[in-house]
Amino acid sequence: MGIVCCSPLEFRTPAYIAPNTKTCFQLLIGGTRLPASFDVVKKVRNGVVAYQANSGYNRLMTNDLKLFGPLGILVGTWQGAVGHDTAPDRERLPENTPFREQFVFTPVGPVGNHEQIVHVLSYTRTAWRLREDGPFHLQSGYWLWDPLAKQVMHSFMIPRGLTVLAGGNAEPDATVLRVTAVVGSSTFGICSNPFLDREFRTVRYESTLTFNSPHSFTYEEDTQIQMKGRDAIFHHSDRNSLEKVM
C-alpha cells in the first residue's frame, strides 16, 4: 500500500542529481518535504535507476499540516448551526430546509499513484434538520492535494447511490477553493444509480470553500439536476458557515 515509483525518465537529467535518494525524490515532487515515515529506496532495473517511496498507512501520520497545502486548515471537527438547503420535495418542487451539521476531517497521509503523490484528508459529514434528532444527510469522502499539479480534489459518496469526484486548481496558500464535476467526464465526473440517472440526473456539481479564518469556513454547493420530463435544470443548493470546535 502507498508505493510510489518515480518515472525513470525523470532522473536522466542533471537537475535531479542529489546527494541522497530522499532529496532526489523531493525534487521530483516539486520540493515537497516528505514525512519521516516515508522511506525512499534507490532501485536499478535493467540498468535504469528508479526511486521508490514506501509508506505504510499505520505509520504515515505527520503533524506537518503544510504537506496538505490549502487543505491543512481543515483538520479537526467543525460545526455549523444554521445551514440552508434547497432540494426537490415530494412533488419535485423547491423545498427550503434549515439544518445544522458537523464535519470531521482526519489526515490519511501521503498516498502514491506511482510518480504522483497526493496528501489526503478523509472526512465525514452529518446534517440534521433543525429540531430533529435523526440526520437527514450522511456523506463520507476525501479531500486530496496534489502539490506538483497544484490541484485539489474532492471525492465523496452519499447513501443514495451517487458518487462524485470533483477537482480544481489551487495554490498552496489559497483561501478559496473551487471544485467542479460534470457527468460524462472521465476525470472529474459523477456516477448515479439507474433510478437517479433516469429521474434525477445530476449533470454538474460545483462547490466553493472560503476560509474566513483558521477557525471558520463557509461553503456553497450547487448540484445541478435534470429531472425527467422537465427542460429546466433544478439547482439543489446548500450553504453554511462552520466553526472549528476541536
Same structural domain for residues 203 and 227? yes
The verdict on 213 and 124 lying in the same domain is yes
Q: Within this chain, do residues 151 and 33 fall inside the same structural domain, yes or no?
A: no
> What is the domain-level CATH number for residue 71?
2.40.128.20
Same domain, 215 and 165: yes
- Any residues with CB less than 8 A from the CB of 206 and at least 6 apart, and which? 166, 178, 179, 180, 221, 222, 224
Q: Are residues 92 and 140 in the same domain?
A: yes
Structural domain including 28 reads: 4-59
Residues 142, 183 share a domain: yes
Query: Are 48 and 115 members of one domain?
Result: no
Residues 85 and 184 both lie in one domain: yes
Query: Both 40 and 96 in a single domain?
Result: no
Please give the tally of structural domains in the chain.
Answer: 2
pLDDT tens-place values along the chain, 246 residues long: 433 333 333 332 233 333 344 444 444 444 444 444 445 555 555 555 554 554 444 334 455 899 999 999 999 999 999 999 999 999 999 999 999 999 999 999 899 999 999 999 999 999 999 999 999 999 999 999 999 999 999 999 999 999 999 999 999 999 999 999 999 999 999 999 999 999 999 999 999 999 999 999 999 999 999 999 999 999 999 999 999 999
Give the closest residue to 170 by CA, choosing from 69, 29, 42.
69
- Both 225 and 150 in one domain: the answer is yes
CA angle 22, 150, 20 (to 5 degrees): 10
Looking at the fold, whether 91 and 166 belong to one and the same domain comes out as yes
